Amino acid sequence: MMFCQKCGGILMPKKEGNKKFLACTCGFKTKEIDETKLKEVMESKSKVEVIERSDVESLPIAETECPNCHNRNAYYWLVQTRASDEPETRFFRCVKCKHTWREYQ
C-alpha cells in the first residue's frame, strides 16, 4: 500500500483515459503508475533497550547474587520484551555496585 503525502490516507489506483495513477480522497494524485517508484521500509522492533531508572530506590529488592560483586541484594523490575504469550524478562540492579543484568524465565 502507498500512503498520501498530503494527508496520510491510503492511495487507490485510478484510471483516466489510458493513464493509470494512484489517487487519494483529498485530491492528491501521483505520477503515472509506470513512472511511480515503490519503496518499502522495514523497521525491526526486536531491539530491547534498558531504560536507566532514576527512581530505582522505589523498586522492590530481591535476594539474588550479583554476578559482578556477589552482593546478595538487588532491585528488580519486570518488562514484557518478547511476545505476549511468553513470560516477561526480569531485570536486576545490584544495590551495591549498580550492575544491571537480566533473567529470562
Residue of 32, 65, 86, 103 marked active site:
86
Residue of 34, 55, 57, 85 marked active site:
85
Helix (H, G, I), strand (E, B) or coil at 59: coil
Active site residue 85: yes
- Beta-carbon contacts of residue 19 (< 8 Å; ≥ 6 apart): 32
Catalytic positions, please?
85-86
